[in-house]
Amino acid sequence: QVQLVESGGGSVQAGGSLRLSCAWSGYTASPVCMGWFRQAPGKEREGVALIDRNGITRYTYSVKDRFTISQDNAKKTLDLQMNSLQPEDTAVYYCAVEPRYSWECIVSYIPTYNTRGQGTQVTVSS
């Protein structure tokens, strides 16, 4: 059984940085892709960043050049470095894995993946 546990959320002022980490278990091989999505109060879930097993990364436009996703298969962790945070980045952030199909390794599909963690709150004040 695949399990994901996020950590690293918190509260920062605009312009600050946070690093989220997701510890995963239950896979015998590296997942075809993994990613992060977020959900702000009253808003739809939004895919944020994705990395595939070849190390190729993709980002939603609003976080490109500010966020960096990385994966350590030896440690079984998925990290999201978030810089230049803005109030609109405030949300609960989830890591997710197990798309139904490999072609769903697209940022917009991350919220549909079969397995996700419990989420970690990120709050950015102006």
| Strand partners of residue 94 | 37
Answer whether residue 125 shows pLDDT above 80.
Answer: yes
What pLDDT shows up at residue 39? 98
d(C-alpha 3, C-alpha 52), whole Å = 18
pLDDT tens digits, residue range 56-99? 999 999 999 999 999 998 899 999 999 999 999 999 999 999 88
Answer whether residue 102 shows pLDDT above 90.
Answer: no
pLDDT tens digits, residue range 19-36? 999 999 887 677 899 999
